[in-house]
Chain A
Amino acid sequence: MSNPGVESAAEAGAAAPPVAATASVLRIFVAFLVIGSTSFGGPVPYLREHLVTRRRWLDDKTFVELLSISQSLPGLNATNMAILVGDRLAGPRGALAGVIGMCLPGAIIMFVVGVLYREHGAYAWTTAALKGVAAASVGLVLATVVQLSEKSLDGRFDFVFVAVTVVAVEHFHVSVPVALIGVGAAAILWHRPRRGT
């Protein structure tokens, strides 16, 4: 698993179009506020568009690397990316600016939605529409599962780990942290570093 191509953003930027190594806290806040208020349907394409293409704060390789860290850690991709990118560009204050910008628009929107839903959610027509929305979101999660599986499952045994996790949580009501630590430890050991590979 040697990865000789991975260098710092500054070095990689020498070959590719120039990549800014720093940015002001205010610009970070504004950038993530824009992403946070426009990223309908999932943040990843919007993050790439703004951070890599428009502002050139990251090159593509760094973007993918930060995204894979975001996905391996607890927390949502959107906020984890805001923290990692903000920290890279302006330290802890940049991370804070990024995550606040990312969360603010959605939080305000959902606050209003929650108030409206509590007052008007019981009409027959809203219930009918919500029924359709809920069914569609099940399809959405399933599609995410399929796409992630194609990208990140490695070998037949990984499907066993997936199945064990599902059956443990869904059927035997094993709590999520226990399943995460138990199956996770087994899977990490299964993928342990081996000499000569």
Chain B
Amino acid sequence: MLRTIRLYLRLLGTHLRASLEYEADFWLMALGAAMTQVAGFVFIAAVFLRVPDINGWTFWTVALLFGMVGFSEGVINLFFEGMWWLADLKHNGELDYLLVRPYPVALQALSSQVGLNGLGNLLTGGALIVAGLVNTDIDWSPATAVVAVLLFLGAMAARVGIMLACNATTFWLEGPTSMFAFAVHQVGDLARYPLAIYPVVLKGLLGVVLPFAFVSFFPVSWLTGEGGTGWLGLLTPLVGVYCVVLAAWVFRRGLTRYESAGN
């Protein structure tokens, strides 16, 4: 297990080193990602200048939602960006060599790229989370802190799992792009707002089918007591594990369909 993780970081590190060759690009990517987060946030901040709350959610609790979504995005960019290249790897037959090496194929594919925009997303997302926690009235105790950390990890796992599963559908689709996963990624941005504002169909989509609500809404709801669905937040670690296991299963099933392009 430890060896698996060490090797994963090493694979990531090699790509990171290579991409840092272009320093100007690094800063532009980080800036672009940060600006995208900020743009969404400027909107919501401007709204809160005019209204005190959205469905009972105050400015800083919504900031927490934004922060969780942005941070999870950054986690994917920085550590699992390879998932967005899966369609490409499949289409060009580049999975061949990964399949004959003694290391899980999914991990080799996930570590095959590093998204430098991740840093921008982690920083802005992290800043929003910290600011949100500082400015929200939370009754901290050691137990709360432990649970909060567990929920946070579960939330990140849920996001990574959902997006990996969606990217792995490329084995059933034709073509060299992850357009389906891209569309789902946009659905994920809905989790930046309180779930209550959506019609019931979308609530079902975000809560059950593509459980993005567990990336932000439910864990934040448990921590802040906002929204009255806190108990669901406690399921976050379970949902996280479920999403990752599901993704691994979809990936493995997909791999048996791999046809290896070319001759």
Q: Is chain B found bound to chain A in the same assembly?
A: no
